[in-house]
Structure 1
Amino acid sequence: MDITPEDAKLVTLARASRARTGARHGAAVRDQDGRTYAASTVELPSVKIDALDLAVAMAVSSGATGIEAAALVADRHPEPIVRGTAVRDLSGGGVNVFIADPAGDVVRVGTT
């Protein structure tokens, strides 16, 4: 699947975040100003946050008011990760979420 260089960067950032922490998921988002934020799933006894939701939270905490695109890297790609994401809360519908396997190959493009 062909994607733009900016979207490929999101996949690369998501892959790196996941690999660095060994988490189930890695994610990255690009805000309305072109800034990127990457995160991995956090699973602690007191808090569990999916990577995509955390990347959005990081963007919001840095002043982002919208998300242009997102990427999620995981072994499996259950649809609820995309449907229930904070991306929709911040930006509404129509935002592409590039879902990739651990090798970085985009296997599907979800839309919020």
Structure 2
Amino acid sequence: MPESPTAAAIPGGQIGAAELGAEDAKLVTLARSARARTGGLEGAAVRDQDGRTYAATTVSLPSLTLTALQLAVASAASAGASRLEAAAVVTEASTLDGSGHAAVRDLAADAPIHVAAPDGTLLGTVVE
């Protein structure tokens, strides 16, 4: 649900990662690993229509700034993905960045976007 043009609310309530299916839990793990590996602000992972996964972290350069979710979606699109099945982002923020949300929606109007804390605790899932 959009709160503003740049953020989407995360539904309330703590949901254990065990309640995610195995493939979606894998996305959270990949996002956490990418974030830990680079020390980035966020980590993200997406799964395409063929089951391939793409992980990324936030990029902040003088000439280029991308959220982790934008970069994961861009990596999938660059590899030929035409549809996403699901996405996950690991962040300390209490909202899902609107740019990343929009990037996922470019390839999937209904793919769940799981938002997790750095420790892997699922904060919620955005489905709109």
Structure 1 position 26 matched with structure 2 position 43: yes
Contact 1:82/1:97 (8 A) holds in 2: no
Normalized against structure 1, the TM-score is what? 0.93
For residues 70-111 of structure 1, give each alpha carbon's deviation from its aligned partner in whole angstroms, at most 9, with x where no partner exists: 0000111313447743110112x2110000000011111012
Q: What residue number does 1:40 align with? A: 57
| Secondary structure, aligned partner of 1:23 | coil
CA distance in 1, matches of 2:113, 2:56: 15
Change in CA separation of 1:71 and 1:84 when aligned onto 2, cut-off 3 Å: closer
CA distance in 2, matches of 1:62, 1:79: 25
Normalized against structure 2, the TM-score is what? 0.82
Contact 2:57/2:67 (8 A) holds in 1: yes
Q: What residue number does 1:59 align with? A: 76
Work out the percentage of aligned pairs sharing the same amino acid. 51
Q: Max radius of gyration: which structure?
A: 2
| Secondary structure, aligned partner of 1:85 | helix
Higher RCO structure, 1 or 2 (CA under 8 Å, sep 6+): 2
Aligned CA-pair RMSD: 1.4
CA distance in 1, matches of 2:51, 2:28: 15
For residues 21-57 of structure 1, give each alpha carbon's deviation from its aligned partner in whole angstroms, at most 9, with x where no partner exists: 1111100000000000000000001100000010000
In structure 1, the gaps of 5 or more residues are none
Structure 1 position 3 matched with structure 2 position 20: yes
Change in CA separation of 1:82 and 1:3 when aligned onto 2, cut-off 3 Å: farther
How many residue pairs are counted as aligned between the two chains?
111
Which portions of structure 1, spanning 4 or more consecutive aligned residues, are displaced by more than 6 angstroms? none
